[in-house]
Amino acid sequence: MLIRNNKYKLSEFIIIEHGDILFTWVMHIALGVQRSGKCVIIGNILVLGHWDHEEAGFLKMEFHEQSMQLPTWYKTHYYCFATSLRKVGTEQNLTSDLIEHPYIPKIDIEAVNMNIFGTFRLGRYKITVDENNLIFWQTIGELSRIIGGKCVTESGILFIGPKEIESADGQSRRDFFAGQKPLPQWDKTFAWGHDGSLMKCKEPELRKSYAATWKSTNVKTRVSDNIPFYQNQQFRREDIRKFTASELECLGTTCYRFEWKTWSRLSPLIRGVVVIGFRSIMFIFGKLIHITKRIVGRFRTRL
């Protein structure tokens, strides 16, 4: 029995579903080279593992055109990388699980229900759950100041939010971490990470042309909505003309700004050079007139 592979686009990745058993990702990285790795669905999060295979593939534009023909990934609301998530109680990330278990089915984890409030330790963080089931974190920051913020849970994973508070009173690192040792280990989630590593699988705005999709760096990019691929050559030519016109306009504006900034910086130097050059020419011209007069005067005295 043949297993049908379904393909989806997710940001700069192509997600391949192998019969609802195995998920893999493919990404273009260089001229005609692409990498691939394994994925796993944890609740409402698609976790992308580290790449484990590299091979020759499409060029950048060909890879992009191929991904534009695919439907947008919709089976999870978020995605992140396994290297950004760590197991609770260890310092290992989830990459090892994807390597040890190549065929990982979807892991369905319900939202965490905090029935017990209190203070816990999680690595270098102090996690506090209050009576309203709100979760907060604290740790020691720069200048030995206590910093903190809020946490959120998604699909059985605790995510540390951004810094929101910073106490003016300092505390030594030794005292802070010594105060954490008596606290119980955080065990309300099986993994944890930072909220900056959790990304949405859709962008609010629709990409309109290739000019909006090309990005020189691999930064964290958000995923676009589904964009229909141009089906005929006429639409493609119109898009290329729009792209060329916008690029030429941008190039002209850039050149104008560059010339204006360059002239504004070099104009004092140019004026100084012109004045010195003019004075030098007048000096030389005066010397030539003086020498000419002396020569003419000598000829006249001899005659």
Most confident range (mean pLDDT) of 77-86, 256-265, 286-295 is 77-86
- Confidence label for 114 from pLDDT (cuts 50, 70 and 90): low
Query: What is the reported pTM?
Result: 0.61
Chain centroid, CA 117 distance in Å: 36
Give residue-wise pLDDT tens across range 203-233.
544 444 444 434 434 434 333 343 333 334 4
Strand, helix or coil for residue 20:
coil
70 compared with 262, residue with greater pLDDT = 70
- pLDDT of res. 291: 84
Q: Which residues pair with 119 in a beta bridge?
A: 128
- pLDDT of res. 105: 52
Q: Which of 139, 11, 4, 14 is nearest to 78 (CA)?
A: 11
Rounded to an integer, the average pLDDT of 125-131 is: 92
Any alpha helices (H) in the chain, and if so which ranges?
60-68, 95-100, 173-180, 210-213, 233-302
The residue with tokens 């999870």 is 76
- pLDDT of res. 108: 52
Mean pLDDT of the chain: 76
Rounded to an integer, the average pLDDT of 139-150 is: 90
Strands (E), 118-236: 118-122, 125-129, 135-140, 145-154, 157-160, 165-170, 191-194, 199-200
- Confidence label for 265 from pLDDT (cuts 50, 70 and 90): low
Q: Is the pLDDT of residue 239 over 70?
A: no
Q: Is the pLDDT of residue 285 over 50?
A: yes
Any alpha helices (H) in 26-136, and if so which ranges?
60-68, 95-100
Q: Which of 24, 26, 19 is nearest to 67 (CA)?
A: 26
Q: How many CB atoms lie within 10 A of CB 29?
A: 15
Tokens (6 digits) for 165: 């508070």
Query: Max CA-CA distance within the chain?
Result: 125
- pLDDT of res. 213: 39
Rounded to an integer, the average pLDDT of 11-16 is: 92
- pLDDT of res. 207: 42
- pLDDT of res. 298: 75
